[in-house]
Amino acid sequence: MTSLSSLVLRNAQLCADILPGFGGALSRLDWIGGAAPVPVLRPYAGGDAAPRPNQLACFPLVPWSNRMAGGFSYGGERYDIAPNREGDSFPIHGEGWQRPWTVAFQSASQVLLMLERRDGVPFSYRASLDYALRGNALVVTLEVINTGALALPFGLGLHPWMPRSAGTTLQAAARSVWMAGADRLPSHAEAIPQAWSFDRERVLPDGLIDNVFEGWDGQARIHWPESGLNLAIAADSGYYIVYAPAGGDFFCFEPVDHLINAHNMAGGPVRHGLTMLAPGQRLRRIFSFAVT
């Protein structure tokens, strides 16, 4: 990734900065409908320095989300995938977040980015990432087409980073939460403990959360009492991941369509949210971030 050149989308209510050359990521999303801009995603604060993806406001997850236990087996074949982040034992977040995307279309309020991975192993694909400002909402459409010769399980998601204060609340109903083992991979599902029960609006707890929630209804709401703003998140996905480090000034609410390490979980990848794509088939997910 060599270019820090950004694209700016703007309407009367929102302003988004996008870095095609750095994973097609958002570097910021601000509400500009009031007297002064207010960040609704954590902005990149590094100036012109080349960012690490984890410093950015949001990046795409394709062709899978979060950690995978070193690869997977399917159809009698084993596909090994090397770790792709320093300090992590497993490959994480797919590939799209670490590759430059190209601009296919741009207007004042919309940009379409493309990523070609026809040489990918085992995943060969073409991905598109559409950012569009529509009134008070940023709508993100992420799509992948299997361009390989094999049917394989694919998954999609987004990895947004939100500002966090002592009073920040989250509401996102789910059925269960997966607990993780020492390897940080899901070990078993449990009933959601009271401190993590976001069926109703709740302040984020003081301790660490780094877990995937299952049975999500696809609707979430974040509230910042200091600014009075709300962020309504909608996604056609049945899982979300919350990463909230103890004492942090940010947290992540990641809408995803599959369980962490779904490729290797008992019952098979489709049972845990992944979509089997035959050659030429496509998978599309739509995510909306509306500010009120």
Which residues in the chain land under pLDDT 70? Answer: 1-4
pLDDT digits (tens, 9 = 90+) for 195-248: 999 999 999 999 999 999 999 999 999 999 999 999 999 999 999 999 999 999
Distance CA 249, CA 162 (A): 9
pTM of the predicted structure, to 2 decimals? 0.96
pLDDT at 54: 87
Residues 6+ apart with CB under 8 A from 171: 198, 199, 200, 201, 202, 220, 221, 222, 223
pLDDT at 48: 79
pLDDT at 4: 67
pLDDT at 76: 86
Query: 47 with 3: CB under 8 angstroms?
Result: no
Distance CA 96, CA 59 (A): 8
pLDDT at 3: 45
Distance CA 94, CA 98 (A): 9
Cα-only R_g, the chain:
18
B/e letters for 143-154, b = 16+ CB within 10 Å, e = fewer, are bbbbbbeeebbb
pLDDT at 34: 87
Q: Give, in order, the Cα–Cα distances in Å from 257 to each of 169, 214, 227.
A: 23, 10, 31
Distance CA 9, CA 103 (A): 13
pLDDT at 145: 98
